[in-house]
Structure 1
Amino acid sequence: MEEEKDPFALITMTIPKRAPVFPGSVGTFRYRLVRDGKAGEGTVQASVYENICFEKAKHIETESFPWTEEGMAQIRAWLNQKLQERGTQPFSILGGRD
Structure 2
Amino acid sequence: MSGHFDFLNMNFFTKASVYPGSIGTFRYRFQRTGWMEDGSIQVWVYENTSFELAQDVETETFPWTEEGVEQIRAWLEQKLAERGTEPYRIPYPPKKK
1:3-82 correspondence runs (5 A): 3=1, 5-82=2-79
Secondary structure of the residue aligned to 2:22 is strand
Letter in 2 for 1:75: I
Aligned-pair CA distance for 1:57: 0.5
Letter in 2 for 1:19: A
Is there any run of 5+ residues in structure 2 with no aligned partner, and where? Answer: none
Aligned-pair CA distance for 1:16: 1.5
RMSD: 1.4
Secondary structure of the residue aligned to 1:52 is coil
Instruction: Give the TM-score of the pair, scaled to structure 2.
Output: 0.90
Is there any run of 5+ residues in structure 1 with no aligned partner, and where? Answer: none
User: How far apart are the structure 1 equivalents of 2:12 and 2:46?
Assistant: 19
Identity value in percent: 53
Secondary structure of the residue aligned to 1:7 is coil
Which residue number in structure 2 is paired with residue 87 of structure 1?
A: 84
Aligned-pair CA distance for 1:14: 1.4
Largest Rg, 1 or 2: 2
Instruction: Give the TM-score of the pair, scaled to structure 1.
Output: 0.89
